[in-house]
Amino acid sequence: MYKLYLEKNITSKDLLEKILKENNIHDRIIYNEYGKPYLKNNAIYFNISHSGIYTALVIADTEVGIDIEKIQMPKNALLHVCTEEERKLINNAEDFTLMWVKKESYVKYLGIGISYGLKNVDTIKIKDFIIKKVGNYYVSIYGKNLK
């Protein structure tokens, strides 16, 4: 089970505070060694991402990662981020951004972040990303058995 909250012009901190309050959750935020935030006393998982005007927050009953990104093709990042097989599938900014948000949501699900190694996330083999397109932005959510 998961719920996505997507709002414009709000900081990550403010959106989290607002949604926790709305859900009547009063808890402390703790962080793992890589900086992923968790609730101290609730068996509820969350993850936050910010890009441009949007902040995206996902709440789930299992480990979860989220990433939102404005559709773009950076000048240099392609070789660093994508495997040779993945690069064959990228023809434009939409393809690149979709692959990027998948990789980011996966490393954030793991709780390790970029340190895991972006090329180690094989977006051809890994399935079950939940993808949403909002205007000029892609959102990817990753978790096991999310519905």
Partner 1 sequence: MKEEIISLIAEVLEIPKDTINEKTNLIKDLDVESLDLVDLVAAFEEKYNIEILDKDIKNLQTVNDIIKYIESKNV
Interface contacts to partner 1, rule CB under 8 A: 50-51, 69, 72, 74-81, 100, 104, 113-119
What span, in angstroms and rounded, lies between the C-alpha atoms of 89 and 58? Answer: 28
| Cβ distance to partner 1 smaller for residue 20 or 105 | 105
Q: How far is the CB of 11 from partner 1 (least distance, A)?
A: 12
| Cβ distance to partner 1 smaller for residue 28 or 80 | 80
Q: How far is the CB of 19 from partner 1 (least distance, A)?
A: 22
The helix (H) or strand (E) run that includes residue 17 is helix 12-22
Q: How far is the CB of 65 from partner 1 (least distance, A)?
A: 13
Evaluate whether 52 touches 10 at the Cβ level (below 8 Å).
Answer: no
| Cβ distance to partner 1 smaller for residue 44 or 119 | 119
